[in-house]
A and B are shown apart, each in its own frame.
Chain A
Amino acid sequence: MRKIATPKDLAEAHAKLRPLMALRAEGDKSADKRELLICGGTGCQSSQSKELLAALNKEIKAAKLQKSVTAQITGCFGFCEKGPIVKVFPDDVFYTEVTPEDARDIVRSHLEGNTIVERLLYEDPARGGLRLEKQHDMDFYKKQMRVALCNCGLINPELIEEYIAAEGYLGLSKCLSAMKPAEVVAEVKSSGLRGRGGGGFPTGLKWEIAARQKNDVKYVICNADEGDPGAFMDRSILEGDPHSIVEGMAIAAYAMGSRYGYVYIRAEYPLAIERLQRAVDQAREAGFLGENILGSGFSFDIELKYGAGAFVCGEETALIHSIEGGRGEPTSKPPFPAEKGLWGRPTIINNVETFANVPQILRRGAAWLSAFGTEKAKGTKVFALAGKINNVGLVEVPMGITLREIIYEIGGGIKDGKKFKAVQTGGPSGGCIPAGDLDIAIDYEALTARGSMMGSGGMIVMDEDNCMVDIAKFYLDFTMEESCGKCTPCRIGNKRIHEILTAITDGKATMEDLENLSSLSRVIQDTALCGLGQTAPNPVLSTLKHFWDEYVAHVVEKRCPAGVCINLLDFVISDACVGCGLCKRGCPVSCISGEKKQHHTIDISRCIKCGACEGKCPIHAIVRQ
């Protein structure tokens, strides 16, 4: 792309490129052209979306439609349960679970024959399997509101032209041409934007503190070290709209007076790295990074730094030390990075989703964002919905929506009609929220008050088959392994908690252990050095509070009510047994006996509880007791 040297150049470029969006954003049907957008994120690429794109292009070529039809990738649509998605513009048809083999049907039937491929449409379970062709008619999307994800599913993230067509870099241009740095800070402050990565610190305030520091060198860091298991909102933004991060960081840099930026990104995100690096290179070529951006005299550039897979490096001070080449360990705050950060210089660190909000705040104004949300939390939040829920995927909702709306309306309820038990928010350090709290309006404070947190937006749903003690142990297993080991409470305390939980699930714990579990958890919260350690006991304390009876059952009755804790149950064969012998042949320790067509039995004293028999039995006659 040729260099854009002034705001006027950008306005002209935007005007020229805007027609790129005509079919998509405006649904213009006059041109007799069609565009196909295909999920191009990591998740759908592993479901063959690359092959699907190739197959579509091959079929388009075969049908000699190249002049009127284009097919290209886009960012994550979020409906991962039904991916890969193919969306056809301007018809606004939303095909789900499309395979490369379906390419021929889409091209021949839809593109050539103008007949929608019914079998690829989403079947709405709430309406008896009614097939829906439009995205906005689906419950999954009805209550969503896309700000951070606004370009995901709309533009090709690999082309800067598409980003500009979608009003990209206009926010930066506005800042540089018409606003003083302090006005930019004020605008972000008044939008009410808060950090989307964990703590929810007011973004504008953070920028203000950094802007106030007198120092000739300051840094902007984008925290892209998304480490919560199951969370992929930051990855999706980086893959689907990388220029929004470049623009957001440049705006922050202008506001605080920095000319150097780093993106600390997980090396396990190769596609995000590739797209972001391409965006940075394109932005530099086009003049949105580098010296004298848009002729304003402001200079800024971005470098990518790769994280080596330590969860704790998502903590800002640990992240800074990692960039500096040191061991990824947090240090005591204060001083905060905004005062003394990277190489001792004032540094602001915001996460990916936070930066993705920034260009729009500047373009549309603070009031636009603060118009929705709750009193203390404005705008939207992206959640990664996972667990025992029908619609697994990435959703962006306005703050203040209830958990019930997310789980039952957007998420389509619990899998296999099971009973909801709890939802765990905020990643591995979040707490488990029980059914009684499903109607709370979500914001930072509401979740914290319930012993959980917003975190980066993980949301894992549990049903009646989940043992809450086992769940707590699972999370502690993660935080214990990921502890940097620097402070005593996290290094040893969380290890001891994990040991007590293991004793409980093994049926070896006493009521005194439960008391110790609770008191130790509280001390860890109070004394650990960083957020990782302080919040690690959250899953324990919240489950102790809401699922006390389940703990007591393990300790006193040596029983796991959900039938999960393997050391507390036996495999037995019920009367339904038909004597087929499959279990007997599948048992690795040969502890099942029985004549053909006779009831079989398991020798419990020799059973290793591997569960192999359970999987072999065709009539589910093997039960856990």
Chain B
Amino acid sequence: MISLTINEKHVEVPEGSTILDAARKLDIHIPTLCHLNLHDIKMVNQGATCRVCMVEVAGRRTLAPACATPVAAGMEVKTHTPRTIIARRTVMQLILSNHPKDCLICAKSTDCELQALAAELSIQNIRYTGEMAQFKKDESSPAFVREMNKCVLCRRCETMCNQVQTVNALSGLNRGFRTTVGTAFNLPVIDTTCTSCGQCVAVCPTAALSEVNNVGKLLRLLNDPDKYVVVQTAPAVRAALGESFGIPPGTPVTGKMVAALRQFGFDKVFDTNFAADLTIMEEAAELIHRIKHGGKLPILTSCCPGWVKFFEHQFSDMLDVPSTCKSPQQMFGAIAKTYMAQELDIDPARMAVVSIMPCIAKKYEAGRAEMNADGYPEVDLVLTTRELVKMIREAGINFAGLPDEPFDDPMGESTGAAVIFGASGGVLEAALRTAYDWLTGQSLEKVDFAQLRGIKGIKQATIPIAGMDVKVAVASGLGNARQLLEDIRAGKAEYHAIEIMACPGGCIDGGGQPYHHGDISIIEKRARALFSEDKGNRLRKSHENPAIKKLYADFLGEPHSELARQLLHTQYVKRSRV
């Protein structure tokens, strides 16, 4: 332990702690901007670039950044002297002198860390003005917009993209005042190895990175009398939506969400969970087929579009390893525009499928050329949880006060196995519940696979099923996925099935969720919300979903039937590594 004083208060912290850590222990607040420590997912942005957290350390010539200065024995720190306050205010004014002042119409307004900090430091004028950055807006991606004039060069996105996700799509470019974060050769981001996972957006303190906002398009769809608009909501959305309306994190708000969506005038409010159960049917069948017929193992899940694009770029020699199943979002669209359109007697050309997703990569996925059912795009429009929050606010809905309403039938029916898709480990757990029953011919009693749950980057387990040790692994975060895949490629690891999610912790931490602003404990709470929904469901195995049974009986035949393969399965594209 290292002993030091901050503002003449004595504190002891472990060696290697920073001044900021020590100050937090004393409940002394030092303002920060660039700093972000998401220790649980190994994301530590400690570049000390913004110079907001500067403090006085006795014996040191210059001020020290609290976020990146390790404590030393006997250190005497002062956090709020006139010298530090002047320095902080000046630094903040410099940042603002090169930041657009269009807060009124900014995507991040009221949710912006820079705006909040300016208020905290009560910056009311900017003493130093001058030239401002003139970077071109990058709107090439259907998932997110890069507006680098709003960048404060905290470099969180770079740390996330390179160190956590190992995608390496972003890096510092240029020098001096023209410094920015950009792609190799300044290519439009759509032409890079970017997976659209959205974790850069999730940690950006300003609106330099933000999701493509589809609220306007949705309103026009809903306003079109010729359109029959159905909506699906991903499992992770209900676990986080309440946070934006003063409901404690970890509270599932499924019923209120359905009620709110119904108020917007959707013709049907359905659930992606229905399609998650369908995915399990197809994926478990595929797994069993591969196990029984000596097919390619392990099988890798393919629900996550960020992960799909990642392996298409980085592991293009292994394109036969992932499951051929489309994601639940796309399966939903495929069924909606075929089976459901028939059932409802609606011309698929008139039907619009809208998704509410925790994810920005889903916007990209919906636009992939192969994602169509009988020539119609499976999903017409994708909005994130954050966009839904904006719509609910704009509509003046008292969300917390809404009554719980149920989803519409039949594509609103789902099991507990489906809702846990939103948390890391959930897809595999759901698949095991079904695979067990199918392989053994018996009904699994203890359906919880706790060893696969939690925010840990890589989880492994061996599950005895029908006299056979089924080895499984779960990775969340693309860096962890890379590690697992490299081990497999090198022949160092053998598994039957692997679940991979691009976002650390799974979809609950998706790039389209309400901002966690550095409080990663919120992710565990969201996971608990999903597992409690699972527990509360009468049906906890996908193959027990009566609506799914009916779908196979009336329409698809059986898992992996020709029609199922045509509608619910896909193939992958070899992409370049740079």
Chain A residues engaging chain B, CB cutoff 8 angstroms: 310, 312, 327, 329, 331-332, 334-335, 480-489, 491-496, 499-500, 516, 519-520, 523, 525-529, 534
Q: B415-453 CB contact bits vs A (8 Å, 1 = yes)?
A: 000000000000000000000000000000000000000
Q: Which residues of A contact B50 (CB under 8 A)?
A: 487-488
Q: Tell whether B69 is near chain A: CB-to-CB under 8 Å.
A: yes
- On whether the beta carbons of B175 and A334 are closer than 8 Å, the reply is no
Question: Which residue from chain B places its CB closest to the CB of A331 in the assembled complex?
Answer: B47
Q: Contact partner of A486 among B62, B127, B131, B153, CB < 8 A?
A: B153
Q: Which residues of B contact A493 (CB under 8 A)?
A: 90-91, 94, 128
- Complex CA gap A483/B172 in Å reads 13
Q: Tell whether B49 is near chain A: CB-to-CB under 8 Å.
A: yes
- Complex CA gap A496/B49 in Å reads 18
Interface centre among B95, B128, B178 (most CB of A within 10 A): B128
Interface centre among B49, B98, B177 (most CB of A within 10 A): B177
Q: Tell whether B83 is near chain A: CB-to-CB under 8 Å.
A: yes
A and B contact pairs by CB, cutoff 8 A, 21 listed? A310-B175, A329-B172, A331-B47, A481-B176, A483-B175, A483-B176, A485-B178, A486-B47, A488-B94, A488-B153, A491-B176, A492-B98, A493-B90, A493-B91, A495-B176, A495-B177, A496-B94, A520-B90, A526-B54, A527-B91, A528-B62
Interface residue SS majority, chain A: helix
- On whether the beta carbons of B91 and A485 are closer than 8 Å, the reply is no
- Complex CA gap A527/B70 in Å reads 17
| Top 6 closest pairs, chain A to chain B, by CB | A485-B179, A499-B130, A492-B94, A523-B90, A332-B68, A483-B176
Q: Which residues of B contact A332 (CB under 8 A)?
A: 46, 48, 65, 68-69
- On whether the beta carbons of B62 and A526 are closer than 8 Å, the reply is yes
- On whether the beta carbons of B62 and A481 are closer than 8 Å, the reply is no
Q: Tell whether B124 is near chain A: CB-to-CB under 8 Å.
A: no
- Complex CA gap A609/B179 in Å reads 34
Q: Tell whether B174 is near chain A: CB-to-CB under 8 Å.
A: yes
- Complex CA gap A228/B510 in Å reads 48
Q: Tell whether B470 is near chain A: CB-to-CB under 8 Å.
A: no
- Complex CA gap A499/B176 in Å reads 14
- Complex CA gap A519/B46 in Å reads 28
Question: Which residue from chain A places its CB closest to the CB of B99 in the assembled complex?
Answer: A492
Q: How far is the CB of B289 from chain A (nearest CB, A)?
A: 45
- Complex CA gap A496/B97 in Å reads 9
Q: B499-539 CB contact bits vs A (8 Å, 1 = yes)?
A: 00000000000000000000000000000000000000000
- On whether the beta carbons of B70 and A334 are closer than 8 Å, the reply is yes
- Complex CA gap A525/B86 in Å reads 13
Q: B55-91 CB contact bits vs A (8 Å, 1 = yes)?
A: 0000000110100111000000000000100110011
- Complex CA gap A491/B178 in Å reads 8
Asked, given contacts A492-B95, A492-B97, A496-B94, whether A529 binds B51 with beta carbons under 8 Å apart, the answer is yes
Q: B308-330 CB contact bits vs A (8 Å, 1 = yes)?
A: 00000000000000000000000
Interface centre among B47, B62, B130, B171 (most CB of A within 10 A): B130
Q: Which residues of B contact A499 (CB under 8 A)?
A: 130-131
- On whether the beta carbons of B69 and A523 are closer than 8 Å, the reply is no
Q: B365-386 CB contact bits vs A (8 Å, 1 = yes)?
A: 0000000000000000000000
Question: Which residue from chain A places its CB closest to the CB of B48 in the assembled complex?
Answer: A332
Q: Contact partner of B63 among A331, A494, A527, CB < 8 A?
A: A527
Question: Which residue from chain B places its CB closest to the CB of A480 in the assembled complex?
Answer: B176
Asked, given contacts A332-B65, A492-B94, whether A526 binds B177 with beta carbons under 8 Å apart, the answer is no
Question: Which residue from chain A places its CB closest to the CB of B54 in the assembled complex?
Answer: A527
- On whether the beta carbons of B70 and A491 are closer than 8 Å, the reply is no
Interface residue SS majority, chain B: loop
- Complex CA gap A525/B54 in Å reads 12
Q: Contact partner of A523 among B68, B87, B98, B175, CB < 8 A?
A: B87
Q: Which residues of B contact A329 (CB under 8 A)?
A: 172
- Complex CA gap A520/B175 in Å reads 21
Q: Which residues of B contact A528 (CB under 8 A)?
A: 51, 62
Q: How far is the CB of A329 from chain B (nearest CB, A)?
A: 7
Q: B111-132 CB contact bits vs A (8 Å, 1 = yes)?
A: 0000000000000000111110
- Complex CA gap A494/B91 in Å reads 12
Q: Contact partner of A484 among B63, B70, B131, B175, CB < 8 A?
A: B175
- On whether the beta carbons of A529 and B48 are closer than 8 Å, the reply is yes
Q: How far is the CB of A288 from chain B (nearest CB, A)?
A: 39
Asked, given contacts A335-B70, A487-B49, A523-B87, whether A481 binds B65 with beta carbons under 8 Å apart, the answer is no
Q: How far is the CB of B461 from chain A (nearest CB, A)?
A: 34
Q: How far is the CB of B392 from chain A (nearest CB, A)?
A: 37
- On whether the beta carbons of A523 and B177 are closer than 8 Å, the reply is no
- On whether the beta carbons of B49 and A480 are closer than 8 Å, the reply is no
Q: Which residues of A contact B174 (CB under 8 A)?
A: 485
- On whether the beta carbons of A481 and B175 are closer than 8 Å, the reply is yes
* Known pairs A483-B177, A489-B51, A529-B65 / 17 extra A-B pairs, C-beta < 8 Å: A334-B69, A480-B176, A483-B176, A484-B176, A485-B175, A485-B176, A488-B153, A491-B179, A495-B176, A496-B97, A496-B129, A499-B130, A499-B131, A520-B128, A523-B91, A527-B51, A529-B51
- Complex CA gap A390/B378 in Å reads 81
- On whether the beta carbons of A526 and B63 are closer than 8 Å, the reply is yes
- Complex CA gap A310/B176 in Å reads 11
Asked, given contacts A327-B171, A495-B176, whether A529 binds B63 with beta carbons under 8 Å apart, the answer is no
- On whether the beta carbons of B83 and A526 are closer than 8 Å, the reply is yes
Q: Which of B397-415 contact A (CB under 8 A)?
A: none
- On whether the beta carbons of A484 and B179 are closer than 8 Å, the reply is yes
- Complex CA gap A408/B50 in Å reads 46
Q: B33-59 CB contact bits vs A (8 Å, 1 = yes)?
A: 000000000000011111100100000
Question: Which residue from chain A places its CB closest to the CB of B56 in the assembled complex?
Answer: A526
- Complex CA gap A496/B132 in Å reads 10
Q: Which residues of A contact B48 (CB under 8 A)?
A: 331-332, 487, 529
Q: How far is the CB of A509 from chain B (nearest CB, A)?
A: 12
Q: Which residues of A contact B131 (CB under 8 A)?
A: 495, 499
Question: Which residue from chain A places its CB closest to the CB of B65 in the assembled complex?
Answer: A332
- On whether the beta carbons of B97 and A488 are closer than 8 Å, the reply is no
- Complex CA gap A142/B48 in Å reads 49
Q: Which residues of A contact B177 (CB under 8 A)?
A: 480, 483, 485, 491-492, 495
- Complex CA gap A499/B177 in Å reads 12
Q: How far is the CB of B185 from chain A (nearest CB, A)?
A: 15
Q: Which residues of A contact B152 (CB under 8 A)?
A: 488
Asked, given contacts A480-B176, A527-B87, whether A488 binds B69 with beta carbons under 8 Å apart, the answer is no
- On whether the beta carbons of B175 and A482 are closer than 8 Å, the reply is yes
- On whether the beta carbons of A486 and B91 are closer than 8 Å, the reply is no
- On whether the beta carbons of A485 and B153 are closer than 8 Å, the reply is yes
Q: B143-177 CB contact bits vs A (8 Å, 1 = yes)?
A: 00000000011000000000000000001101111
- Complex CA gap A492/B179 in Å reads 10
Q: Which residues of A contact B171 (CB under 8 A)?
A: 327
Q: How far is the CB of A532 from chain B (nearest CB, A)?
A: 11
Q: Which residues of B contact A488 (CB under 8 A)?
A: 49-51, 91, 94-95, 152-153
Q: Which residues of A contact B68 (CB under 8 A)?
A: 332
Q: Which residues of A contact B95 (CB under 8 A)?
A: 488, 492
- On whether the beta carbons of A516 and B176 are closer than 8 Å, the reply is no
- Complex CA gap A331/B155 in Å reads 13
- On whether the beta carbons of A489 and B91 are closer than 8 Å, the reply is yes
Q: Which residues of A contact B98 (CB under 8 A)?
A: 492
Q: How far is the CB of A383 from chain B (nearest CB, A)?
A: 25
- Complex CA gap A507/B175 in Å reads 29
- Complex CA gap A488/B152 in Å reads 8
- Complex CA gap A319/B69 in Å reads 21
Q: How far is the CB of B123 from chain A (nearest CB, A)?
A: 14
Interface centre among B68, B91, B95 (most CB of A within 10 A): B91
Interface centre among B46, B62, B152 (most CB of A within 10 A): B62
- Complex CA gap A102/B549 in Å reads 103
Q: Which residues of A contact B63 (CB under 8 A)?
A: 526-527
- Complex CA gap A62/B119 in Å reads 85
- Complex CA gap A329/B131 in Å reads 24
Question: Which residue from chain A places its CB closest to the CB of B50 in the assembled complex?
Answer: A488
- On whether the beta carbons of B176 and A482 are closer than 8 Å, the reply is yes
- Complex CA gap A482/B176 in Å reads 6
